[in-house]
Amino acid sequence: MNEENKSSYYAIIPATVRYSQQLKANEKLLYGEITALSNKNGFCYAQNRYFANLYDVSIETVSRWLSHLQKLGFIKIEIKRNENKEIIARYIYIIDVPYCQKDQYPFYQKNQEGIDEKIKDNIIKNNKIDDLFNLVMNNSFKIQNEFYQIIERLEFNYNQNLLAHMKAEKIQMLKNIIFVLYELYIENFGFILSKIDREDLIVLYNISLEHTPEDLLNYYKRAIINKYTNNNKRKGNANVI
């Protein structure tokens, strides 16, 4: 085992991981190891062989664990290639809610296609929910048509006249929902956005608001991901925006 990869930092395994019925026990341990190795730089660069030696399993098994963690939205894996398309590096980012790294939004990458650089910088660096909301409400060319179709299907495309008669807290709810939907969109959670419905979004938002208002957006995004990656779907009564 490469001694340089060993970390003296604590591993963090949040409740969303510990109590996930979709994760195997070793996948949860792997997640914790990634958090420990990510503490210094905001990402983990350990290779599959390191994890295979650590847990005494095959490299293929580690690969399956990592793929499953990424599929469920707990990690984001970025592959770096050279001009010959050869893999030269791999970075694993923790994107689960309770874990906050030095790079607050490490999963937004500059090489993602279809995202306007100016808008992306505003969202990442300044967290300007209002800016994104105004662009969406004004049908800006800077937002992808595919995302507009999602907003229209969910009936979140309010006009200015309707917004003028809405209460401030309802407008803020709408802004936050759209912001989280956009995060899911640019993080390639298309399989969730294709199934998601308006009623669930509002119910989950109100539940999130009751539980963690200080970390509302992250908690809300995790609630959506958990809801739509779990076969046991339960719906409640929704408040109407």
Name, of 108-117, 131-140, 197-206, 213-222, the range with top average pLDDT: 197-206
Helix and strand totals (H; E) in the chain: 12, 2
pLDDT at residue 237 greater than cutoff 60: no
H/E stretch holding 78: strand 75-81
What is the Cα–Cα distance from 51 to 59, expressed in whole angstroms?
8
List the end-to-end C-alpha distance of the chain, in Å, as a whole number. 55
CA pair distance 10, 88, nearest whole angstrom: 28
Distance CA 13, CA 70 (A): 15
CATH numeric code, 3-94: 1.10.10.10
Q: What pLDDT shows up at residue 127?
A: 53
pLDDT in tens, 65-124: 999 998 888 888 888 888 887 778 888 988 754 333 333 333 333 344 444 554 444 444
Coil, helix or strand for 90?
A: strand
CA distances to 20, 64, 87, 187 from 90, rounded to whole Å, are: 26, 16, 8, 17
Q: What is the mean pLDDT of residues 22-44?
A: 88
**Phi and psi at residue 88, to the nearest 5°:** -115, -15
**Most distant pair of Cα atoms in the chain: their distance:** 63
The phi and psi torsions of 77 (rounded to 5 degrees) equal -105, 125
Structure tokens at 16: 């969303």
What pLDDT, on the 0 to 100 scale, is given for residue 63?
94
Nearest CA to 204 out of 230, 179, 227 is that of 227
Q: Where are the domains of the chain?
A: 3-94, 117-228
